[in-house]
Amino acid sequence: MEKYKSFQLLAERVNSRILIKSLYYLLAIMLVIFFLPWTQNIRSNAKVTSLQPSQRPQTIHSIIAGRIEKWYVQEGQFVKQGDTILFISEVKAEYLDPNLIENTDQQLKSKEFAVKSYMEKIKSTDVQIDAIINSRKLKLEQAENKLIQAKLKVQNDSVKLSASIINNKIAKEQLIRMEELYKEGLKSLTDLEARKLKFQETQAKVISDETVLISSKNEILNAKLELQSINADFRDKIAKSESDKFATLSNMYDAEAVVSKLQNQFVNYSIRSGMYYILAPQDGYITQAIQSGIGETIKEGAEIVSIMPADYELAIEMFVNPMDIPLLEKGQHVQVQFDGWPSVIFSGWPGISYGTYGGKIVAIDNFINESGKYRVLVSHDKNYPNWPKELRLGAGASAMSLLKEVPIWYELWRQVNGFPPDYYKNQTSDIKLKKGTDDKK
């Protein structure tokens, strides 16, 4: 005891009941604290964004390739929708003609006139075909009438030939009787010679009528040949006219295809000429000129400037671990702390926190991001004070999603064991709803 000073100090120490009572009070306070309510929560990092995608910062691209000729704005300047940001000129060889639109329009009008000419030619060909058909009809009627006449003439000549044959037969019989009478001396030689002459005349008449009949039959054959010739001739004429018509139709369709192509080119050239002026898509502020200088060449789809919309509705996007995502749902309340705004936060007692703002969940992503977390979009809760007007998109924030109230000892036990927060959804209402649905069934 005398050798070591520490033992001497212990020997001089006086036990005090005050210290013991203080320890008891401290233990009682800790026991009370352990049974105090604690609001479970999910804390996550967040950043300020806008609620609508159209209100978020965006970059303006050039649809066509070109060369920067003139800037009309500068960084930080406010622009209205439709204001000109810059002017670019053409760099592609096929569009360098200053009169490209006028020349294309002239070609288009020429081809349209050619199409009209082909259409008129087709109409004329149709009229010509109709005229040929009508002419063929008349010619055929004329040839058929001629054939009928030839047939009637054959009948007439056949009757004449029959009469001549009968006359010739009668003359022959009369000649035989005359010869007998002459032999008997009843008729003179003159009468006999006259009868012979009459017989020869009837023979000649028969031969003449046969010749005429053969000629009439030849006329029938000629009329039939003429009918066939008329049909063949007019078929050739109609076929030639239809061939000309189809050739004209083919040319017209080719011309119409060229017209459609030229119309497409004319519209494309007209639209392209309007793309030389890059316009502001909405009211906002020019934040950064990505392309700069005069004479710089830009490619199709290249980013030119970034613009921040003037009007936007603030929101935050918080990133939650997959283990906590089942505990969140749309409309759930969230406490938000913004970077740069002083706050005193008691995560377990949100009611006594200071400097936080209210929000509610409006969207929860269904897929995980590259960092292995889910994105949750939170907007302002109208039941709480407005968010600071000085907030800017991209600012940092911290979000705290409030869950179920539990004793502090339970929360400590949960944290030590690494258990997730309790599922605080109103299970009673779900059970009642389910029971009512089952009863209806």
How far is it, in rounded angstroms, from Cα 22 to Cα 19? Answer: 5
Q: Decide if pLDDT at 429 tops 80.
A: no
DSSP 419: P
* Nearest C-alpha neighbor of 333 from the set 403, 258, 414, 240: 403
Q: What is the pTM of this model?
A: 0.54
pLDDT digits (tens, 9 = 90+) for 90-135: 888 787 878 888 888 888 889 889 889 989 988 998 898 899 889 8
DSSP 433: H
pLDDT digits (tens, 9 = 90+) for 220-253: 888 888 888 888 888 888 898 888 889 989 989 9
pLDDT digits (tens, 9 = 90+) for 344-384: 554 444 554 555 788 888 888 888 888 888 888 898 888 88
Quick one: tokens of 80? 């209205």
How far is it, in rounded angstroms, from Cα 19 to Cα 314? Answer: 55
Most confident of 309-318, 326-335, 353-362, 414-423: 309-318
CATH number for the domain whose boundaries are 38-56+312-426 = 2.40.30.170
Averaged pLDDT of the chain: 79
Query: What's the sign of the alpha-carbon dihedral 94, 95, 99, 100?
Result: positive
pLDDT at position 221 is: 87
Tokens 């691209």 sit at which residue? 61
In one-letter notation, the amino acid at residue 268 is: N
Q: Decide if pLDDT at 428 tops 50.
A: no
Residue-wise DSSP of 200-263: HHHHHHHHHHHHHHHHHHHHHHHHHHHHHHHHHHHHHHHHHHHHHHHHHHHHHHHHHHHHHHHH
> What topology does CATH give the domain 101-274?
Helix Hairpins (1.10.287)
Listed by start position, the domains of the chain span 38-56+312-426, 60-81+280-306, 101-274
* 132 contact partners, CB below 8 Å, separation of at least 6: 234, 237, 238, 241
> In Å, how far are 96, 118, 441 from 104, measured between CA atoms?
13, 21, 72
pLDDT at position 397 is: 84
Q: Decide if pLDDT at 214 tops 60.
A: yes
